[in-house]
Amino acid sequence: MRASKREELVQKALTIFYRDGYHKTGMDTLVKETGISKTSMYKHFRTKEDLILATLRLRDEVFRNHFVRRVEELAKTPKDQLLAIFDVLKEWFVSDEFSGCMFVKASGEYPDASTPIINIAQEHKKLLFNYTRNLAESANATDPDLLAGQLMILKEGATVLAHINGASTYSETAKQAAQILIDSHLEK
């Protein structure tokens, strides 16, 4: 089934925002690069912020679906899935499309805690935390919340460093630290 004009616009805008950033990308650039008229663009989105929100929702859905699916393909037990998080990160870091975390970038460009853009970024991170927490609980971690928080810090730190320094080895370093944390949290 062919994507609607709105879906097509969101998909193309997501690529452009991810590549160039939010503030740097103006509506004229979006019109030029998407091939969608300004009239059509404003028919679907009243403001650039509305379009940014739509791209972040799409990115959340696509990223989390891929992330969870790959974690579950790579490992079968909850403990192993907690470690597989970092294998999935490595796959992402070495891919051609890796350019850091779109949600971290959005929160950097829109730091006001009351904006809907920050709210979507927070929700994305919360959903990833909840997924990790559920794995930790299924693995019988003594404190699933603490372990999930620690693993999320490793995940986020590895992502930022891989983006800034262009090295995929941060996922491996984070995985080694994760192994130590997981072992310390699992009941013997």
Q: Tell me the per-residue pLDDT of 21-35, one tens digit each, with 9 for 90 and over.
A: 999 999 889 989 988
pLDDT of 62 higher than 60: yes
pLDDT of 139 higher than 80: yes
Residue in this structure with the two tokens 């310390």, named with its chain if needed = 184
Q: Which fold has domain 54-185?
A: Tetracycline Repressor; domain 2 (1.10.357)
Can you give the three-state secondary structure of the chain, one letter per residue?
A: CCCCHHHHHHHHHHHHHHHHCCCCCCHHHHHHHHCCCHHHHHHHCCCHHHHHHHHHHHHHHHHHHHHHHHHHHHCCCHHHHHHHHHHHHHHHHHCCCCCCCHHHHHHHHCCCCCCHHHHHHHHHHHHHHHHHHHHHHHCCECCHHHHHHHHHHHHHHHHHHHHHHCCCHHHHHHHHHHHHHHHHHECC
pLDDT of 11 higher than 80: yes
pLDDT of 50 higher than 90: yes
**Dist CA 55 CA 7 (whole Å):** 10
The model carries a pTM of 0.92
Q: Tell me the per-residue pLDDT of 89-119, one tens digit each, with 9 for 90 and over.
A: 999 999 998 999 999 999 999 999 899 999 9
Percent of the chain with pLDDT over 90: 82
Q: Please check whether residue 171 is in contact with residue 158, taking contact to mean a CB–CB distance below 8 angstroms.
A: yes
Residue 186 CB: number of other CB atoms within 10 A? 16
The H helix count followed by the E strand count for the chain is 9, 0
> Could you tell me which of 42, 57, 52, 64 has the C-alpha nearest to residue 13?
52
Measured CA angle at 44 (ends 38, 47), to 5 deg: 70
Which residues share a beta bridge with 166?
none
Tokens of 92: 């992402």
pLDDT of 65 higher than 60: yes
Amino acid found at 173: T
pLDDT of residue 2: 56
